[in-house]
Each structure stands twice: as C-alpha cells, then as structure tokens.
A and B are shown apart, each in its own frame.
Chain A
Amino acid sequence: MITLRRKVYMTAGFNTVSMGSGRKEFHPKKPRPGLEDYIKEAGKGTLSKIGGARNVDEGVIGNFMAARFNNQGNLAALIPSIDEGLKWKPCTRVEGACCSGGLALASGIKSILAETAEVVLALGVEVQNTVKAVYGADILSTAGWRKDRKAGHAHYFPGKFSDRAGAYYAKHGRDKTRSAMARWYRNAIENARLCPTAQEHQNNQKDLDAMGMTEPNPRSFVEHLSVYDCSKVSDGASAIAIMSEEGLKRAGIAKSDAVEVVGFGQVEADLTVPPEDPTRLETTARAVEAALRSAGIRASDLGTVETHDCFTIAGVLATEAIGLAKPGEGPDFVLAGETSRAGKVPFNTTGGLVGWGHPTGATGVHQAVTLWEQLTGKAGSAQIKLSPERPYGLSINMGGDDKTVVAIVYRKAA
C-alpha cells in the first residue's frame, strides 16, 4: 500500500481541444497544429494560472508514440519550448501506452512525495491524425505484445476489446450488454456536448441510442463492436500542476482552487501474457483497490469517476472492476442510469474517451483536469453536483489491454 507521507495537490488544469473527426474545424487534408503547438498551448495554459515558469521545479510529459506518429523523440526537451523559464530545469518523458498521462501524474506525485520538487508541471500529449487510421492501428498495436500482432486483427485494439465483449456476451448475455454499451455511448455524447473542448461537442445526432445499437460488421471492422463503441483518433494535450503545501503557497493558489490527491495505485501486468479472464479488467481492479486502500476509502464513497473507456465495453467492465457493480451486473448498473450525469456515480462527465476524445498520451492528464474542474466547481455547463457524503473522485488510466494502470483518488482541498 502506498501511504502519502505528505499532502499532494493538483491545480491549474488545462485541456486543448481534442481535435479529430467530429470537430467541424478538422480537415484531414489541411495543415494542422503539430506536437509542439499542443504542448505549448496546454503548458502555457497551466503556467498562466500558477504565476509562470519561475514557480515550476520540474516538468514531466506523458506521450505514447510521437516517435512514429510524428517522427519525434526526446520529448522532455520540448517542455522548455513552452516557456524560456523552464530551460535548465529537470524534465522527464514517460511512456506506458495509453497510460502515459497517468504515469506522468504518478511520476509528478512521487517527486512531491520525495520532496525533490514542490511544483511539478505534468503534461500529456498525442498527435495521431498524422497517419490514416489503418496505419495508426499498427502504431497503436505496439501497446500490445509485438509477437501477438500477426495473429491480431487489422484494427488491433478494437479486436482485443471485441474479443472481451464477445466473451462477456457469452457469459452474461448479449442483448443486455449491447444495450448497456449503447447507453454508455449516449451518456458519453451527451456529456461531451456540455464541454467545448470535447471532440464530440458538436455532435447533434438525434437518436444516440440507435447509433449506439449499430450492429457490428466483421467484414469491414470487428466482430463485436461497431465504430460507435470506439474512442476516435484524436490530437490533443492536457496539463496540470502537481504541488505540495509549500508549492501552493509559492504559486499563490488558494486551497479552494485545488484538489488533494488522497491516494493512488499503480499496477503493471505482464505484456506477454493474455488476460486470464477476458470478462474482467483485473489490472484495473488491482490498481483501483490499491488507490482506495491508499486513500482509506471504499468504492461506495466515490462521488464521480473518470474511467478509461477506450471502448464502451471497457467502461461497462470498469464499473465491475471498481466494485460498484458485481461481476455480470455492470450492464444493469449502466442501464439503470447510475453512471449517467444524473445517476448515483456520474462517470466521464465531459464525455470520457468515447465522447471527449482519446489523444492517447494525454488522456490520463485530461482525466485529472476534469476531476479538478468538477471538484472545484470549474466545470462550466458540464458541472455536476457532488453529494457531501461522497466527496471523492477517482481516475483510472489504462495502457494497452489492461496492462499498465494508474488509479488516483482526489477530493477538494481543504
């Protein structure tokens, strides 16, 4: 169990737009901002709220595959490009596939705990629309075990989660599960419509349930998922400042503008071994358990969750992994509306990966930004009202097919 030896806060979150198909300003054939532009926009967004670069001790950036999407390595050295004041400061780039953002947060938290920094600028970035989706699938497949690629589906990760969905249908019933996945999709889009930076913000489809129920077509895609069950290809970056008590003072941040990190769990599974039970997210369950234990709370204390719904089925499975629903009852929990913004535990209140977008390396940081906004009352039209009995937020960021997971518990700082 991880015990936090001193208080850790997060504040000054910033998200760029999640850019890609669905956004009206997105044209695949026109020039678009590059990796460095996204990093700059997000970094400056956070710096402007914490009194500038002079207050930052250290930078950390999460990114999955700029080496292939953008032919760019050494991303730590792009952090000083945000602001000259960051030059000569220690910076690190971390990678754990789609959990790279979560690893950036964990790394920043550890620097605060280690007392090697009082203020860490944590960033996540991915710019993926540089290649067509069919080639992007090859790049993203490196989050899986390379020796499994040949046997894998053309759309590798949709294939992996299609297999999980198929196994779940077989065990717990297809109709109920498909309906719950469609409901997950509807919730995601409805929440995204409330958040101006969301990729699906401008989605004005009328019958979301019908879209969500679109039958999978294995001839052109995968067996058990339709494209509406999948997060889209996204470009984007997010940034947040991780601080100690001392850091907050230095940057002049009021507690009311910060969240406290009350616990976290970081868990790794063996990349070369397929999941023992495809109907369960075991690594996620272990990371959440560690985070809750570290925070000293139970699942029933959670007021809101940002979970890694790269696919709708992953969202449904997460309700079980967290312990909010029993095995096989995740679909019922979702269908009862408990994960909607009006439900018991609103999930992914700005759309999650399906609705807000999934710039892979940025997602973990984006989740923290959303929870920071919700817990400090800065979520605008997407704001939910938390019950005082359940003041905790949980983020779950997953890399690969449930291999690298970081779960973090937050509450409003006091």
Chain B
Amino acid sequence: MEYSERLENTAVLGAAGKMGSGIVSLVSQEMADLSLKPENRSKTFVLHAVDISHQALSGLVKYLREQVRKSAEKKIVSLRSAYADREDLVDNGEIIDAYVSRVLDIVRPTTLVAAAAEAHVIFEAAPESLDLKLKLFAGCAGVGSKAWVFTNTSSIPIHEIDEKAFLGGKIMGFHFYNPPAVQKLVELIRGKATLPEVAKFAETLAKSLRKTVVPSNDVAGFIGNGHFMRDMLHGISEAERLAKDMPFTGAVYSVNKVSQDFLVRPMGIFQLVDYVGLDVCQCILDVMDPRLPGKGLKSALIDRLLGQGVKGGQNHDGSQKDGFLKYEGNKIAGVWDPEGKRYVPLSEFQAECDKKLGPLPEPALPWKAAVKHPSKDKALADFFGKLDGMNTLAADLAKRYGSRSKEIGLGLVSDGVAASASDVNKVLLTGFFHAYGPVNEYFKEKVVR
C-alpha cells in the first residue's frame, strides 16, 4: 500500500484537543491535496476525528473551518493549479471555498473509537496516560488491524506502547509541537520493533507537511521533554533556594525573569510551565520518573500547586490560564502564593526583586531582537560575555541556569537520547523557539547544584 493509498482512510484519536485539532487540520489538508491529484479523483478520502464529546467536536469543526481557510488563502497559487480544470471555479474566493468544503467533507467527527478501526493510519493525540492510550488502541488497533499508529506522546516510550497494545511494530512516535499547524518541529521516535515501512511513511509524511524532523531515541521524555522537564526542575529548585532569603512569590518572579530576560529566551520558565499546563508537566514527570529512576524527576511543588487547583494551560480562545503566574491579557500580573493560597500582585514585590537582581547587561538583548539579529551569534556572544563579567544576583542565576541547561543537553547525548548535540540544539531552537541551543560556548560546562 503506497503513501497516498494509506492516507485514504485515517483517524485521529483525541481529535478535538489542542494537539489533536492541529493534527486533524494538517492531515486532512494533506489528504485533500492528494485527493485533488488526477489519479485520485475517483477515490474517497476519510479522516475519522474521534473525541469524547460532541461539544468539543463542534469546536473542532469551527477551528478547522478557520484554519483551513487561512491556509488556503496562503496557498492560493498552488490551489489555482490544482483546480485548473474546474471551469466553474474562477475567482480565488470560489476556489478557497471549494477547498475548505473538500477538507471538511473528508473529516468525519465522531465519539465512537470503533470508527477508527477501518483506518489505515491512526494518529493518537490523547492525554499523556499509558492506560488511556492502551484502552483506545484496544478499540481500534492491535491484533488483526491493518492500521499503523503514530502516537503524539511526548514522553512514553514507544516500545512500551507497542508491546502492551500488541501492535507488532506498527507504531512510531510522531511528536508534533504545540501548535502543530505552526510549529515546524516534529520528533520522530522509532521503537525497538518499529517496522521499517512505518518509519519510511512517517518520514515521507513529515516531509510533505514541511516539518523539520529530529530523530530521538526511544527514552522516556525524548529530547524535547528530556530537556524541558530537567530545565523546569532546575528553575523550581532555584526558586526554592532563593525563597530562603525572600518571599516565595518574589523567588518565582525572579527566576522567571532571569530565565527570560537574562537568558534571552522567548518566555520565562514558569510562564512556559503555565503555557504547557502544570497538569501536563506532572503527567510527563510521572511517565519519566519511574522509567529513569534515581534522577529526581519529580516535583513536590507542582503536586502541591495542582492540589490547590492551580493548573495553567490555555482557554479555548488561546488565552493563558493562571498557573504559577497570574495573567492579565498576555501580561504577567501576579504570582501564586501557596501559603496564602492567592495571587500576590507584582506591584507588591516587583521593584524590590528587580533591585536585588540587578541590571541587564548593556545593551540589553531581548529575545525578539536576538532571533532577528543579522549577526545573531556575535550579538549573543557580546551579551553573554558582559553577563559573565557581572556579579549581580541575576547574573549569578543566569550563569547557573545556562550552565545547567548545557549540562542537560550534553547529558541527553551521553545518555543516548539524542544522536548529537546539534539534534538537541535543533529541538530547542525549532520546538522551543530559543535563540541559541543549550549546547553552546556562552556558558561554562559545570555541574550546578
């Protein structure tokens, strides 16, 4: 069964979620593009979009209608060629409408997992729980099924899913980054028994979706979360250390600020944790910790905050929910105090913290300016060179942070998770929009504890 034939019947499990809806959008458009080729005109392409509630699925359809339209507007030049023989479709507007209808005709929303049983390709984007995933596969894949499974897990080893769901090697890790429609990065993970033809299909699909592929070995957390979780735990331990000399809220604020402004990252570490969701981070740690014992991959603080109902994550409109930090629009307005069980407004401690932290190196190098900088490497070297010569609290925190991040990156290579330091850097540059990779010359390689 060749590429296009296999894509004639697909399914996405968890289709209405944050990741699932993006995957539905990308895959259904790939299917629509194939269906427009002359040799495929007589074929019917179907994508079963499976999720638990009709309400969520209505939201998916609405999202698709908007997403596919935007994407069609962008690719109007190629769409006009694809529709060249449709005499009735003349204006761009008519062609775009026709394309949106075609994609929506392919997508069949359903709450029944069984619908996915006829699919040749199943994308799984359910929450990060092995039990849940196994339950889903029991209803549509495994023994007797022709389906190849591509799981969007960001942490669970592929070989474990393979063995426990009896998939016989018809599975591969296909880890999109959030949001899938925008993020270029895909981590591809082969399990021990993954069939070569499954891996080949995954590579072809990733290429066709114009994704940047980084292969990761089949170790819990892979490269992306392998770095992020440890980076997050470093941030938490730094905040806890600082909290001995200042209020906890000020410590969280300070570490968040240093990890953004002084490390030239797109957002601070606690804002990133909020963006991903504390619950998601906890799930990932719960997967990683037992599989990588003795590495301390757990956080009592995250467990505590979740116990207090502090979750983070995003609302349906993409706006940020409160987590470690409180948000007003996209701006940070306060920090959660687990003792007082309330958000303390920034105005109560920001000025004092900023004073303790000390100034940025001059000239400052905001992340946005760094990524657009025509000579980015030199600008970063200058900035971090100046930082190195500073003895402020912020400079100390930043240097410890940069060194730890580098240590994590090198650890991923020495532990055999990543094939090379450049793969680690590519994941952070592409998937996390960092301005520079963790394995760099800006920070010394030393163990920070």
Docked pose: A219 CA to B87 CA in angstroms: 23
Question: Are the CB atoms of A132 and B73 closer together than 8 Å?
Answer: yes
Question: Are the CB atoms of A135 and B92 closer together than 8 Å?
Answer: yes
Question: Are the CB atoms of B92 and A154 closer together than 8 Å?
Answer: yes
A87 at the interface (CB under 8 A from B): no
- By a CB distance below 8 angstroms, the chain A residues around B80 are 153-154
Task: Please encode chain B, from 51 to 85, with 1 for each CB lying within 8 Å of some chain A CB and 0 for all others.
Answer: 00000000000000000000001101111100000
- Per DSSP, chain B at the interface is helix
B96 at the interface (CB under 8 A from A): yes
Query: Which residues of chain A (370-402) have a CB below 8 Å from chain B?
Result: none
Which residue of A has the minimal Cβ distance to B91?
A: A138
Task: Please encode chain A, from 148 to 183, with 1 for each CB lying within 8 Å of some chain B CB and 0 for all others.
Answer: 011001110000000000000000000000000000
Contact among B76, B77, B79, B91 with A149 in the assembled complex (CB-CB below 8 Å) = B91
Which residue of B has the minimal Cβ distance to A221?
A: B77
In the assembled complex, how far is the CB of residue B84 from the closest CB belonging to chain A, in whole angstroms? Answer: 8
B93 at the interface (CB under 8 A from A): yes
B98 at the interface (CB under 8 A from A): no
In the assembled complex, how far is the CB of residue B96 from the closest CB belonging to chain A, in whole angstroms? Answer: 7
Task: Please encode chain B, from 91 to 114, with 1 for each CB lying within 8 Å of some chain A CB and 0 for all others.
Answer: 111001000000000000000000
- By a CB distance below 8 angstroms, the chain B residues around A153 are 77, 80
Docked pose: A219 CA to B77 CA in angstroms: 7
- By a CB distance below 8 angstroms, the chain B residues around A220 are 74, 77
Query: Which residues of chain A (54-74) have a CB below 8 Å from chain B?
Result: none
B332 at the interface (CB under 8 A from A): no
Question: Are the CB atoms of A134 and B92 closer together than 8 Å?
Answer: yes
Contact among B76, B78, B87 with A134 in the assembled complex (CB-CB below 8 Å) = B76
Docked pose: A138 CA to B96 CA in angstroms: 12
- By a CB distance below 8 angstroms, the chain A residues around B292 are none
Known contacts A154-B77, A220-B77; decide if A134 and B96 are in contact (CB<8 Å): yes
Question: Are the CB atoms of B77 and A138 closer together than 8 Å?
Answer: no
Question: Are the CB atoms of A154 and B76 closer together than 8 Å?
Answer: yes
Query: Which residues of chain A (196-251) have a CB below 8 Å from chain B?
Result: 218-221
Which residue of B has the minimal Cβ distance to A147?
A: B90
Contact among B74, B79, B93 with A135 in the assembled complex (CB-CB below 8 Å) = B93
In the assembled complex, how far is the CB of residue B66 from the closest CB belonging to chain A, in whole angstroms? Answer: 13
In the assembled complex, how far is the CB of residue B343 from the closest CB belonging to chain A, in whole angstroms? Answer: 30
Which residue of B has the minimal Cβ distance to A136?
A: B92
- By a CB distance below 8 angstroms, the chain A residues around B90 are 149-150
Docked pose: A154 CA to B90 CA in angstroms: 10
Docked pose: A153 CA to B79 CA in angstroms: 11
Question: Are the CB atoms of A134 and B73 closer together than 8 Å?
Answer: yes
Question: Are the CB atoms of A138 and B92 closer together than 8 Å?
Answer: yes
Which residue of B has the minimal Cβ distance to A137?
A: B92
- By a CB distance below 8 angstroms, the chain B residues around A149 are 90-91
In the assembled complex, how far is the CB of residue A135 from the closest CB belonging to chain B, in whole angstroms? Answer: 5
In the assembled complex, how far is the CB of residue B128 from the closest CB belonging to chain A, in whole angstroms? Answer: 35
In the assembled complex, how far is the CB of residue A357 from the closest CB belonging to chain B, in whole angstroms? Answer: 23
Question: Are the CB atoms of B77 and A150 closer together than 8 Å?
Answer: no
Task: Please encode chain B, from 145 to 175, with 1 for each CB lying within 8 Å of some chain A CB and 0 for all others.
Answer: 0000000000000000000000000000000
- By a CB distance below 8 angstroms, the chain B residues around A219 are 77-78
Docked pose: A149 CA to B87 CA in angstroms: 11
- By a CB distance below 8 angstroms, the chain B residues around A138 are 91-93
- By a CB distance below 8 angstroms, the chain B residues around A155 are 77
Task: Please encode chain B, from 21 to 59, with 1 for each CB lying within 8 Å of some chain A CB and 0 for all others.
Answer: 000000000000000000000000000000000000000
In the assembled complex, how far is the CB of residue B358 from the closest CB belonging to chain A, in whole angstroms? Answer: 34
Docked pose: A395 CA to B96 CA in angstroms: 39
- By a CB distance below 8 angstroms, the chain B residues around A137 are 92
Which residue of B has the minimal Cβ distance to A156?
A: B92
Which residue of A has the minimal Cβ distance to B80?
A: A154
- By a CB distance below 8 angstroms, the chain A residues around B73 are 132, 134
In the assembled complex, how far is the CB of residue B330 from the closest CB belonging to chain A, in whole angstroms? Answer: 16
Which residue of A has the minimal Cβ distance to B86?
A: A150
- By a CB distance below 8 angstroms, the chain A residues around B79 are 154
Docked pose: A334 CA to B170 CA in angstroms: 64
Which residue of A has the minimal Cβ distance to B79?
A: A154
Which residue of B has the minimal Cβ distance to A146?
A: B90
- By a CB distance below 8 angstroms, the chain B residues around A150 are 87, 90
Docked pose: A347 CA to B374 CA in angstroms: 34
Task: Please encode chain A, from 264 to 305, with 1 for each CB lying within 8 Å of some chain B CB and 0 for all others.
Answer: 000000000000000000000000000000000000000000
Docked pose: A59 CA to B417 CA in angstroms: 76
- By a CB distance below 8 angstroms, the chain B residues around A218 are 77
- By a CB distance below 8 angstroms, the chain A residues around B74 are 220
Docked pose: A197 CA to B40 CA in angstroms: 53
- By a CB distance below 8 angstroms, the chain B residues around A221 are 77
Docked pose: A153 CA to B77 CA in angstroms: 7
- By a CB distance below 8 angstroms, the chain A residues around B92 are 134-135, 137-138, 154
Which residue of B has the minimal Cβ distance to A222?
A: B77
In the assembled complex, how far is the CB of residue B82 from the closest CB belonging to chain A, in whole angstroms? Answer: 12
Docked pose: A150 CA to B92 CA in angstroms: 9
In the assembled complex, how far is the CB of residue B98 from the closest CB belonging to chain A, in whole angstroms? Answer: 13
In the assembled complex, how far is the CB of residue B89 from the closest CB belonging to chain A, in whole angstroms? Answer: 8
Docked pose: A141 CA to B79 CA in angstroms: 18
- By a CB distance below 8 angstroms, the chain A residues around B96 are 134
Docked pose: A141 CA to B94 CA in angstroms: 14
Given A135-B93, A218-B77, A220-B77, 13 new contacts (CB under 8 A): A132-B73, A134-B73, A138-B92, A138-B93, A141-B91, A149-B91, A150-B87, A150-B90, A153-B80, A154-B76, A219-B77, A220-B74, A221-B77
Residues of A within 8 A of B (CB): 132, 134-135, 137-138, 141, 149-150, 153-155, 218-221
Q: Could you show 10 A-B contacts with beta carbons less than 8 Å apart?
A: A137-B92, A149-B90, A149-B91, A150-B90, A153-B77, A154-B77, A155-B77, A218-B77, A220-B74, A221-B77
